[in-house]
Amino acid sequence: RMSGVQLIEVDDGEAGARLDRWFKRRFPHIGRGQLEKLLRTGQIRVDGGRVKSATRLEAGQQVRVPPLPDADAPPQPRAPFSDADKAFMRSLVIHEDEDVLALNKPAGLAVQGGSKTTRHLDALIGALARSNEEPARLAHRLDRDTSGVIVFGKSPAAAGKLARAFADHSAAKTYWAITIGAPNPRLGLIKGFIRKAARAGGDREAMTRAAHGDEGAVYARTRYAVMANAGQRAAWVALRPETGRTHQLRFHMAELGCAILGDRKYTCHRPAPEGAPKGLMLHACSLELAHPRGGALHLEAALPAHMSKAFELFGFEQGDYVDPFDET
């Protein structure tokens, strides 16, 4: 059984949401692969134009939804969460109020699902919802192997306002990384166009340099500051992305010749120091953005165990940190 073509207007509370998340909330029975096919073939359009899953929606836009199978069927009941899942998710919470839920995401846990990923934050977030509540909604993303602050809105309106802060780059994100070698100069700005490019083995997510006007090229800016270094073995680097591109920080550090320790995709000519713990040494340690009800929200996430061990190994002291990006 198929529904007819629908034209759905984006309401104010949904403004700033990614198209794929907007679609999932309205049509939870349609899988990601099916959605991507509908986008690729142009059956889903926004204001008459072709779009991608990451397109940010604006209030008042018209989304064309093609006939969908069983679109009018009631959603399947959510499988109950185990006590272990509930306890695990509660252990990640670093802030919660009536509008916002913030977690310290562990490295290795995906934010959203894919064809081979069934355990991810977007599926587990319902473990924190009360029986009469809808699960909180993602406002942004982190790479699977990046740990740290990630924010959810507890209503469509809150999620929309939070998402807009990331879309318009008013959210100030600070990451800590351990790099192989020490960037020179110790304080700088990396900028330029980048784009996705296929690599050997079918990797379509790898970023590469690009020129303005190249197909798929996007502009990326990252500020960085070396906080400490262990000779030329490794450095503790604070990073402030001023844009939010895929793998931006990892690509930019590798471009400087000081790849992030533990990164197997973006590498450099320097050998990794021996004896370092396993895992990507990149952590979203703090986030400042506007609260949906007004005022400022400041969130901090403690370092994961593998990075804490690396700090000890290289003699870096977290207590020595002074915000190098503070412009007040």
45-81 confidence digits (pLDDT tens): 999 899 998 899 888 899 999 888 754 455 445 568 8
Q: Does position 32 have pLDDT exceeding 80, yes or no?
A: no
Average pLDDT of the segment spanning 136-165 = 91
In whole angstroms, give the CA distance from residue 268 to residue 252: 11
Q: pLDDT: is 226 or 137 the higher one?
A: 226
Catalytic site residues?
Answer: 143
What is the phi-psi region of residue 96: left when phi exceeds 0, alpha when psi lies from -120 to 50, beta otherwise? beta
From 284, 281, 285, select the one nearest 314 (Cα to Cα). Answer: 281
* Percentage of residues in the chain having pLDDT higher than 70: 92
From 95, 110, 34, 90, select the one nearest 65 (Cα to Cα). Answer: 34
Model pLDDT, residue 304: 97
Rounded to the nearest 5°, which phi and psi values hold at 70?
Answer: 55, 35
27 and 71 in contact (C-beta within 8 Å)? yes
Average pLDDT in the chain: 89
Buried b (16+ CB within 10 A) or exposed e, 72-110: eeeeeeeeebeeebeeebeebebbeeebbbbbbbebebb
Q: pLDDT: is 186 or 74 the higher one?
A: 186
User: pLDDT digit string (tens) for 227-272?
Assistant: 999 999 999 999 999 998 889 999 999 999 999 999 999 999 999 9
Q: Does position 187 have pLDDT exceeding 90, yes or no?
A: yes
User: pLDDT digit string (tens) for 293-314?
Assistant: 999 999 999 999 999 999 999 9
Q: Where are the beta strands (DSSP E) in 21-119?
A: 45-46, 49-50, 62-65, 93-96, 100-105
To the question of pTM greater than 0.75 for the whole model, the response is yes
Tokens 């780059």 locate to 169
Place 203 in a pLDDT band, splitting at 50, 70 and 90: low
In whole angstroms, give the CA distance from residue 191 to residue 76: 46
3-state secondary structure of 292: coil
Model pLDDT, residue 71: 46
- In single-letter form, the type of residue at position 91 comes to S
Average pLDDT of the segment spanning 190-204 = 77
CB neighbour list of residue 158: distance below 8 Å, 6 or more residues apart: 99, 100, 292
Q: Does position 157 have pLDDT exceeding 70, yes or no?
A: yes
In whole angstroms, give the CA distance from residue 138 to residue 149: 12
In whole angstroms, give the CA distance from residue 208 to residue 192: 11
Rounded to the nearest 5°, which phi and psi values hold at 148?
Answer: 120, -165
Place 3 in a pLDDT band, splitting at 50, 70 and 90: low
| End-to-end CA gap in the chain | 60
Structure tokens at 317: 């002291």
Average pLDDT of the segment spanning 102-111 = 95
CA atoms within 13 A on the CB side of 325: 21
